[in-house]
Amino acid sequence: MATRRTTVTTAIGALSLCLSAALAAEPTAEMLAGTCAGCHGGGGNSQGPAAPTIAAMDPLVFVDAMEAFKSDETYSTIMGRIARGYSTKDFEKMAEHFHQLEYTPAPQSYDTALVDQGAKLHDKYCEKCHAEGGKPLKDEEDYNILAGQWLPYLQYAMSDFREDRREMEKKMRRKLEEMLEREGEAGLDALYAFYASQQ
């Protein structure tokens, strides 16, 4: 009887240690990224027009964006609350996870008559920072994906920049002001069409 009790006690102790180790294990990148799937898609490719695709996103840009949401430096409706639940180490894990995923442009309609003009405006005002039409550049650093993002997301993001809800770098502000002075709002519409056309 004593031997049986000892065996049971030992088994319970071993099981407790295993459970404690499992609970103490750090979450994997996939576990952390699971929260993102609801808005940004299971593979980081957004299924809805208001959220950007984050597959193939530059890791530095990802971490900077999440830190800015966490500190409320960047305006958000939901991202600030979500970001506050994670550490910088968590952001870095998620960033590497999404960087490895394949980017799929959003299948959407756009004004085909504006695409050529948008391509020319991109080359003139945006190409130096958003190379190759704003496509993901996995071998480069510090890039933002514009090509193939949902059209409404691009419009919302630009509105946030123009209303100072998101920080705009000096060079971007200067180029945007130049473009708007020469082309007006129609220039932005052409740029949106160009980015949406890259499918």
Q: Ramachandran region of residue 44, left (φ > 0), alpha (ψ -120 to 50) or beta? A: left
Measured CA angle at 180 (ends 174, 186), to 5 deg: 150
Known binding residue 36? Answer is yes
Known binding residue 129? Answer is yes
Known binding residue 130? Answer is yes
Q: Ramachandran region of residue 25, left (φ > 0), alpha (ψ -120 to 50) or beta? A: beta
Known binding residue 99? Answer is no
Burial of 51 (0-12, 13-18, 19+ CB in 10 A): buried
Known binding residue 18? Answer is no
At 96, list the tokens.
């590497």
Output the CA torsion sign for 33, 34, 37, 39.
Answer: negative
Distance in angstroms (rounded) separating the CA atoms of residues 127 and 148: 15
Residues of each annotated binding site: 36, 39-40, 79, 126, 129-130, 172
Residues of each annotated binding site for heme c: 36, 39-40, 79, 126, 129-130, 172
